[in-house]
Chains A and B, each alone.
Chain A
Amino acid sequence: MTEFLQSLPVYIALLAALLNLVRRQWTLNLIALVVQFACLFPMLLKILPLQLALIQPFTGLMVTLILYLTLLGVGGIKAINLLFSLTSGEIFRGLAGIFLLAILGTFLPQFQQAVFPLVPSNHLFLSIGLVLIGLTQLGTISEPFYLAIGMLTFLSGIELLYSALEYSFLLEALLVAVNLLLAIVGAFFIVKNAESESA
């Protein structure tokens, strides 16, 4: 039971990332993004002191806030429609994501032993899982908002992995700047697209 509870944030974060990959509904995606970033906190807390473990989730929340405010500005925030049927594209993306995670899960022990022996398996599973889902997101869509989510997911996976390898204040500061700039760039693209659509 304890083991399951410890793994729960991993599954929730991956589920949120999968939801972002599958479903294209802005409000839902923002909530999923918040959940995804929040779930990083317990994982980080295992290896970092509280103050440092808070940086990445907090940055994630700020990033989501920037995106939320932008979407609000262009009228993109709408009520969530929970009654929907899945399209073939969504099914495909969902299956692709699950397939990737399944493969990752299968080969994780060997991978861990060969490349990252010092990283806990849950930690590794979540970080690589986020990287893979982020990459799939990047490769399957060209809409700026989802590409921003894809890049943020990918980066959060990398940051999570790297925090287990070594820690540097300079690097952390730089990565925070990257995340925030990425959100601003995403917002910039959303506004530009909205402007050109209305023009």
Chain B
Amino acid sequence: MNNTVIIWIVLPALLGLALVLIQRQTKLSAVLGSLIPFVLTVLAVVFSKGLTLLVLGRYFILVDSLVIFGRTIQITADQLGIIALLYFLCFAWNLLSGLFKVGHWFNSLSLIITALWVSVQFINPFLYSAVVIELIALVSVPLLSPRGTPARSGVIRFLSMQTLAMPLILISGWMVSGIETSPSAEAIILRGSLLVIAGFSLWAGIFPIHSWLPMLTEESHPWIISFLQTIMQISLAIFFLKFLNQYAWLRNLEEIKLVLKWIGALCIISAGTMVVFQKKLSRILGYLYLSGTGYIVLSMAFQQQGWLDVLSLYLLPCVFAYWSLGYALSLLREALGSEQIDFSELSGLIWRYPLISVLLLCSLLNIIGMPLFSLFPSHRIIWSILASESLTIRLLISIGLLGMITMVLRVLGMMVQPPEVTDQDKKEKPVFIVPVVLIVLLMVLSGLFPQIFSAPIQSLLISFQNLLL
């Protein structure tokens, strides 16, 4: 029990399995589902300074590695920041899961999925993590496709894409294993990089292989899909950093920066363009994830002084932005009794559900990076760095951003339309005012004082020594 791998991977996975047994007791399951990741987060923060802790005169010393099937899995104190972030994410989503109809599996599977994502970051050799990612996709199925509904195409497409990605990463590892001694290193490097990029593209769903993203968000409960997608996006970003950190040939490849820039720009413009024509809020969520991926990729493309800081500053506000949007959409889904939240159902929303409307509007403005809100400071840095880029990339990103603004205006337009339904009275519970005000306040405060989010995660990516330029 005094092993970091057991505490943050094995134990949570086992506890997640145990939660399956009590999943019918929804309240207990929700409480434990929130408590366990919270405790793990706190422990990760406490031990991130060092694996020795003195409590009441007694020393707690953690061992940092475990051997499984002849392979060593190691989690050092430096890396506990990443673990804290992932478990905090799990805690944040589990905390409010009791408010929505997310099914009995959510608390247990979210814990197992988080444990698996943590293991992805630390399995050695790290290329084998590709298989764990496939396992995560498979474990997510009961959440994405609950019983009582037919198997829909989005979840199947998602599974297919994740399955296709896995071998690309596995083979890339084998291909570049003898790169130092190979006479034709350049060709192998290119092939290896191509496989890595293609694998990550399939995993993250970048343009034009993003089709599963809007399909999946359309079919799933916003609270579930926002959890799965957020943890996936953040974990994949960190996992890609691991590739860059580990492989000097990938990091130093000139083309990689250009390719990342183009991938980022294409994700942002495609999301911005497609989002303008959507008629369902649920699908818009998918495109917002596509755009988010674009920003993360872009921030990785500019490997200059302090870029890793920028990325780590981006992650927590990003999590918060998805969390608040997921919360707003879930509230809306339950309030309207609509699965996909069609635009036509939004007419007069601002008078029927003023608090949810305000929350939705602020969350959308936040996620597209408008001033005043929490994502603005880091988005602004990315835009500023782009200023020195080619006009085409700048133009693509500006158009993407304009598309996102248009989407927000369309949503607002629908909200302030005279309601079609005859009953125009306010239907909202007054109690909503507390969480809505708190969330909007936090959004604004962290937009004005980015330190609120940046201070706790300042040393998040410190373990990537090779990337700290």
Contacts and interface: CB of A to CB of B under 8 A. Distances in A.
Interface string B128-170: 1001101100110110010111110100100110011011001
B135 A174 contact: yes
B147 A192 contact: yes
A15 interface: no
A174 B127 CA distance: 12
A142 B128 contact: no
Contact of A155 (B147, B153, B163, B177): B163
Nearest to A151: B163
A19 interface: no
Nearest to A173: B69
Interface string B104-135: 00000000000000000001000010011011
Judged by DSSP, the binding face of A is: helix
B174 A166 contact: yes
B135 A181 contact: yes
Interface in A123-152: 131, 135, 138, 142, 144, 147, 150-151
Counting chain A residues whose Cβ lies within 8 A of the other chain, the interface size class is 35 or more
B441 interface: no
Counting chain B residues whose Cβ lies within 8 A of the other chain, the interface size class is 20 to 34
Judged by DSSP, the binding face of B is: helix
Contact of B134 (A165, A178, A184, A188): A178
A170 B135 contact: no
Contacts of A197: 150
A193 B150 contact: yes
A117 to B, nearest CB: 12
A113 to B, nearest CB: 12
B469 interface: no
A147 to B, nearest CB: 6
Contacts of A195: 147-148
Given A144-B156, A170-B68, A196-B150, A178 B135 contact: yes
B142 A188 contact: yes
A184 B159 CA distance: 13
A168 B170 contact: no
Contacts of B429: none
Given A170-B68, A178-B131, A162 B171 contact: yes
